[in-house]
Amino acid sequence: MTFQAFKVEIFAQAKAKGFTDYELFHSGGTSFSVRVLNGEISEYKNTSSEGVCFRGTYEGKVGYAYSERMAPEIIDPMLDNAAANALIIEEEEIEKLYPGDENYPQVDSFNPALDEVDAARKIEWALAMEKYAKSLDPRVKIADYCTVITGESAMSIANSYGLDVSHRSNMAGAYLIARVEENGVTKSGYEYWFGRDFAEFDYKALAEKAVNKGLSYLGATSMESGDVPVVFDRDNTKDLFGVFASIFMAERGQKGFSMLNKDKVGEAIAAPHITLRDDGVCDLSLGSMAFDAEGVATQQKAVIENGVLKTLLYNLKSAAKDGVKSTGNASKPGFSGLITTSHTNFYLQPSQTSFDDLIKPVEKGVLITEMAGLHSGANPVSGDFSFSADGFLIEKGSIGRPIEQITVAGNFYELLKNIETVGNDLRFHSTGQGGMGMPSILVNGLRISGM
């Protein structure tokens, strides 16, 4: 049964059962992945999933019901479950369904050519990538997690107010961990690629980057402790902002889980040259969306502009609580998930400064290229963080010897004010709805603890 046919049937029966308004949310998709090891397939997955969520107002309260099938015989029990769930709801804040927007942004998120690439070709690429990585240097002992993936997702939302929107996207990707060994010491280097066109996929370039990263860490030792300038490469800037992205969600501040709330809007919270954006549509990301999980049109917006907090990120409920409009940031992790808030395409606006020029003024500092313990070592409420890290010394504006077994510590709210320079090497990591993209950054005075 198609979504449209199921929608007509369940809406008719919902009205008859006494629901005053109602919505149907559908999500589904397919995913393929192949992982190879030592010239053989070590893992192969080809899966699909689909489901619907009914949400409706019954006797003044909102109830939910879910199903992995769309069939006439499940409609009656779904509506009974939704009605029963509504009657036991104790939350005072009533969820409201959204009638839709007059205009939605245009999004180009699906490439039909990806469907024409068969499994045999993807397996061939994975095997070739592993073989090439191991051929680059005798110190490469294993090309681990050598994987090629593709995926497709779809989402539709319709309700009794006339909202009827849908989205379809697909993507491809590959990643590799090259493990290298010298004098009994093992190091690893990771690299990835995501896109919508395998014509842009260069497995040799990916393998070379992963191997070179691993080799560059050989001979690493610790360093003395101290407060020094720190450069986070673009992937670790992404990881750092990813850990603390929730502080910009309005619902977190409303619950006391973030130091940012509506009263902070208009205040300077970052260095004057810092602009942090959340754009529903971004050409650099695979995660562009025309609407959020409530059917609200996504927006192009600065969260921080020239250091000043311009807005928090809202869904309908949190927006109503603060007396503002939703920013189109409602999120729903699958058809059975609850509505929360998330970023869309979240990124620091890059500058014109190259990576080489970023590190040039640093007389003595640290380049962070690997971090671990990101969630256990971070407190999003206070902003404090302490992560184990690896990287390189920076000496007189140049990258020096590799370092390991260090800890980088600081406070994210203070870090925003102490970003000295933003690089121009913005890269997005996006595998579905939304994405996170960051350039490299230079931060003044973080605490580095060595062994």
**Per-residue 3-state assignment (H helix, E strand, C coil) for the chain:** CCHHHHHHHHHHHHHHHCCCEEEEEEEEEEEEEEEEECCEEEEEEEEEEEEEEEEEEECCEEEEEEECCCCHHHHHHHHHHHHHHHHCCCCCCCCCCCCCCCCCCCCCCCCHHHHHCCHHHHHHHHHHHHHHHHHCCCCEEEEEEEEEEEEEEEEEEEECCCCEEEEEEEEEEEEEEEEEEECCEEEEEEEEEEECCHHHCCHHHHHHHHHHHHHHCCCCECCCCEEEEEEECHHHHHHHHHHHHHHHEHHHHHCCCCCCCHHHCCCECCCCCCCEEEECCCCCCCCCCCECCCCCECCEEEEEECCEECCCECCHHHHHHHCCCCCCCEECCCCCCCCEECCCEEEECCCCECHHHHHCCCCEEEEEEEEECCCCCECCCCCEEEEEEEEEEEECCEEEEEEEEEEEEEEHHHHHHCEEEEECCCEEEEEECEEEEECCEEEEEEEEECC
> For the chain, what is the mean pLDDT?
95
Name, in order, each residue with C-beta under 8 angstroms of 307's C-beta and a sequence gap of 6 or more: 268, 269, 270, 271, 272, 273, 274
> Residue 280's closest CA among 344, 342, 330?
344
CA quadruple 345, 347, 351, 354: dihedral, nearest 10: -100
Q: Span 425-445, mean pLDDT?
A: 90
Q: Span 29-47, mean pLDDT?
A: 96
Q: What is the largest CA-CA distance in the chain?
A: 75
Lookup result for tokens 């260069």: 202
Phi, psi of 154 (to 5 degrees): -140, 145
Exposed / middle / buried, residue 110 (Cβ in 10 Å: 0-12, 13-18, 19+): middle
Q: What is the CA radius of gyration of the chain?
A: 24
Banded pLDDT at 434 (limits 50, 70, 90): confident
Cα 221 off chain centre by:
32
Banded pLDDT at 93 (limits 50, 70, 90): low
CATH 3.30.2290.10 domain span(s) along the chain? 3-216
131 versus 433: the higher-pLDDT residue is: 131
Position 369 pLDDT exceeds 70: yes
Task: Report the pLDDT value the prediction gives residue 92, as an integer from 0 to 100.
Answer: 62
- Is residue 214 within 8 Å of 188, Cβ to Cβ? yes
Over residues 211-224, the pLDDT tens digits come to 999 999 999 999 99
Architecture of domain 3-216: 2-Layer Sandwich (3.30)
Over residues 312-364, the pLDDT tens digits come to 999 999 999 999 999 999 999 888 888 999 999 999 999 999 999 999 999 99
219: left (phi over 0), alpha (psi -120 to 50) or beta: left
Please state, in angstroms and rounded to a whole number, the distance separating the CA atoms of residues 128 and 143. Answer: 11
Banded pLDDT at 210 (limits 50, 70, 90): very high
Task: Report the pLDDT value the prediction gives residue 1, as an integer from 0 to 100.
Answer: 87
Banded pLDDT at 91 (limits 50, 70, 90): low
Task: Report the pLDDT value the prediction gives residue 248, as an integer from 0 to 100.
Answer: 98
Over residues 111-146, the pLDDT tens digits come to 999 989 999 999 999 999 999 999 999 999 999 999
Task: Report the pLDDT value the prediction gives residue 431, as an integer from 0 to 100.
Answer: 66
Banded pLDDT at 38 (limits 50, 70, 90): very high
Task: Report the pLDDT value the prediction gives residue 429, as an integer from 0 to 100.
Answer: 87
Over residues 60-89, the pLDDT tens digits come to 999 999 999 999 999 999 999 999 999 987
Amino acid at 180: V
Phi, psi of 239 (to 5 degrees): -65, -40
Banded pLDDT at 225 (limits 50, 70, 90): very high
Over residues 142-179, the pLDDT tens digits come to 999 999 999 999 999 999 999 999 999 999 999 999 99
